[in-house]
Amino acid sequence: MKTLSLYQCECCGTRYNNRMTCAACEKSHKRPIGVEAWKYVAISDDNTGLPVTVKVTMHDGSSAVYKRVK
Ligand SMILES: [Zn+2]
């Protein structure tokens, strides 16, 4: 009988049988640190009051725009 080792990325939960691949996965993830902009639409178009997009700043200085789907 053989014991198998698995490594799990603490950011996305993906499991790997190779430690280095798992470490590379963890290192690849950019952590959000703040919201730098957001956008709303008129109440006639969306009465939730929630922003339809937000621009998120990541720990490495990059940013990305996310759009609400619900
Ligand atoms: Zn990962």
Give the Å distance between the CA of 26 and the centre of ligand 1: 5
pTM for the model stands at 0.76
> Are 63 and 57 in contact, with CB atoms under 8 Å apart?
yes
pLDDT tens, position by position, 16-31: 999 999 999 999 999 9
Give the Å distance between the CA of 27 and the centre of ligand 1: 8
pLDDT tens, position by position, 44-67: 999 999 999 999 999 999 999 999
Give the Å distance between the CA of 10 and the centre of ligand 1: 7
Q: List the one residue out of 31, 2, 28 whose CA is nearest residue 17.
A: 2
Strand order in 63-67's β-sheet? Answer: 32-39, 53-58, 63-67
User: Tokens 């621009």, residue?
Assistant: 55
Give the Å distance between the CA of 36 and the centre of ligand 1: 25
